[in-house]
Amino acid sequence: MDKLTVNKASLGCILDFCANISRDMIICGANIERVTISVAKVFAAYELTDTSIYVLSNYISLAARDHDGAYASRQVSIRETGIELQRLKQLNRLSYTVADQKPREDQLEELLEEAVKVDSYPQWL
């Protein structure tokens, strides 16, 4: 197996993806443990080291180091949450797909945009 290389721009793409999918999962009603596991799997898939994953229901902090020693972090505040099980199912599936297939880092945000395209229903439903 070829050694996976992650450059500085790629590290940023991976962290952006993980921060965004984490935020979206929390907003949709995911529990903190599910979000933490999803991010850890993506970090492991891209062979990031010195990782830090800190998730609360209103705040996310992620950090990691790539093979070249570059270190980066992302922090996200979450203002509102709800329950959108269909969207959460899509996001959860996406996190496992990314961990298994390791798509190019520049494709991650596009995959996330596609995953959240599900029908929304009125609150009373």
Quote the crossing angle between the two packed helices 85-101 and 8-28, to the nearest 10°.
150
Residue 26, phi-psi category: left (phi > 0), alpha (psi -120 to 50), beta (remainder): alpha
- For residue 76, with 0-12 CB atoms within 10 Å meaning exposed, 13-18 middle and 19 or more buried, which class applies? middle
* pLDDT tens string 41-78: 999 999 999 999 999 999 999 999 998 899 999 999 99
H-assigned helices in 29-107: 32-45, 85-101
Q: Mean pLDDT: which of 34-38, 83-87, 116-120, 121-125 is highest?
A: 34-38
H-assigned helices in 29-77: 32-45
* pLDDT tens string 20-29: 999 999 999 9
pLDDT of residue 119: 67
